[in-house]
Structure 1
């Protein structure tokens, strides 16, 4: 097992990518702290994974004491902390016309500042076990799209945070920091969002080839499989890296010509 005996906090893990990462981590021998806002969903995940392998914490990721509560729960439940996965995110459609400063600040708080806050609290324990941080970003970090303006900016800032801490914390504390930037992933919430935007219930089964050359978009389990490498010892000393997970070359690609 690739994560045997490791203890991992995974934010935003009651659904979607976070849930898939938590399940894969336990399958690889880890014990996990599940976090989110959906208590019933979180309790169901813990029951499935086993109460000896998973514990649940329900709290807004931006609350002042959430980082400390998550770290304390990991230590109380499992006696150590090896890794943090910053997955919780606020995905909200917004453009220059619909984004006011209050919304922009809220998105930045959830998507960029909350990961930093958790890293700060977790750092002494990650240093003790020469652990790591894995931030979950987005391909939108590189350019964004018109109706995901604030979200894209927040993920761009997360890239810079990862590169900065991936260098400084690795040198100063022996803690690696890396980031996965998934493309379009078929999560429960993505299905719901597109339905709310007026798409048919089976929209994901009829995607144009410029967005899905494989005939489908990514699955959460595929992101989870990639996460295991960065959370385990196999990635060795590698730190400060941003890894794009998409089914086509993102840079230099012109969808109109496909």
Structure 2
């Protein structure tokens, strides 16, 4: 058991990647506190994994006292806190014409500022336990798609924060800070989003090569498996690092020949 006797706090842990991480943490011997916005989903996850292993707190992480309350929940429920996973995210489309001030502030508040405040609140516990932080970013942090402008900006900010704190906090407090940048993941919300956009119910069964050389996208469980290394003591002194979890390189990508052929001049 790679996380035996560890206490893990996971924001956005009721569904998708967060739920998969919580499930894997419990399987590896950890006690977990998850956060989310839908109380029913939180209760269902506790029922699934057992209240002796997991507790939940339904709260918006941008609320003033949310970080403090979540850390206090960990200590009250399981006596300590060793690992913080900043997974909660606000994913929404916007571009140069549709990104207004209120929208930009909201997406930055959830995706970049809240993780910082969570780390601040957790630092006394993490420092005492020589714990770690794992931030869940996105490959969109490297530039993003035209219609993911504000979201990409927020994930870029998160990535810079990871590199900054991963150095400064490890030197001063012995707390590692790392990040993973997942590519396209088949979460419940992604399935719902594509359905609302008018796509077929089984759209994910036929993904074009340009998006997925493997002919499929990632499962939340695959992302959770990758997270385990960064959360465990096996990570050793590695800090301030960002790992992309994608099927193709972000720089120097080779486009499929079928795509190249269809776009050649006649």
- TM-score range, shorter-chain basis? over 0.9
Go from structure 1 to structure 2 and tell me whether the alpha carbon gap of 1:95 and 1:44 turns closer, same or farther (over 3 Å shift): same
Q: Deviations over 1:141-170 (max 9, x none)?
A: 001101110000000000000000000000
Q: Decide whether the 8 Å contact of 1:138 with 1:155 is kept in 2.
A: yes
Q: Decide whether the 8 Å contact of 2:131 with 2:176 is kept in 1.
A: yes
Instruction: Provide the TM-score with structure 1 as the length reference.
Output: 0.98
In the alignment, the residues of structure 1 paired with residue 102 and residue 15 of structure 2 have an alpha-carbon distance, to the nearest angstrom, of 26
* Match in the other structure for 2:40: 40
In the alignment, the residues of structure 1 paired with residue 201 and residue 147 of structure 2 have an alpha-carbon distance, to the nearest angstrom, of 21
* 2:98 is aligned with 1:98: yes
Larger radius of gyration: 2
* 2:192 is aligned with 1:163: no
Shift of 1:34: 1.0
Q: Decide whether the 8 Å contact of 1:166 with 1:178 is kept in 2.
A: yes
Deviates more, 1:204-213 or 1:106-115: 204-213
In the alignment, the residues of structure 1 paired with residue 228 and residue 128 of structure 2 have an alpha-carbon distance, to the nearest angstrom, of 21
In the alignment, the residues of structure 1 paired with residue 28 and residue 86 of structure 2 have an alpha-carbon distance, to the nearest angstrom, of 19
* 2:75 is aligned with 1:75: yes
* 2:180 is aligned with 1:180: yes
* Match in the other structure for 1:233: 233
Shift of 1:215: 1.1
Pairs within 5 Å for 1:197-212: 197-212=197-212
Per the alignment, in what secondary structure is the counterpart of residue 89 of structure 1? Answer: coil
* Match in the other structure for 2:116: 116
* Match in the other structure for 2:263: none
Shift of 1:9: 0.3
- Over aligned residue pairs, what C-alpha RMSD do you find? 0.9
Shift of 1:255: 3.5
Q: Decide whether the 8 Å contact of 1:34 with 1:46 is kept in 2.
A: no
Runs of 4+ in 1 over 2 A off after TM superposition: 254-258
In the alignment, the residues of structure 2 paired with residue 254 and residue 152 of structure 1 have an alpha-carbon distance, to the nearest angstrom, of 23
Paired positions, count: 258
Deviates more, 1:243-252 or 1:80-89: 243-252
* 2:238 is aligned with 1:223: no
Per the alignment, in what secondary structure is the counterpart of residue 9 of structure 2? Answer: strand
Q: Decide whether the 8 Å contact of 1:84 with 1:133 is kept in 2.
A: yes
In the alignment, the residues of structure 2 paired with residue 70 and residue 255 of structure 1 have an alpha-carbon distance, to the nearest angstrom, of 45
Pairs within 5 Å for 1:187-198: 187-198=187-198
Which ranges of structure 2 fall in alignment gaps of 5 or more residues? 260-266
* Match in the other structure for 1:8: 8
* 2:153 is aligned with 1:153: yes
Shift of 1:254: 4.6
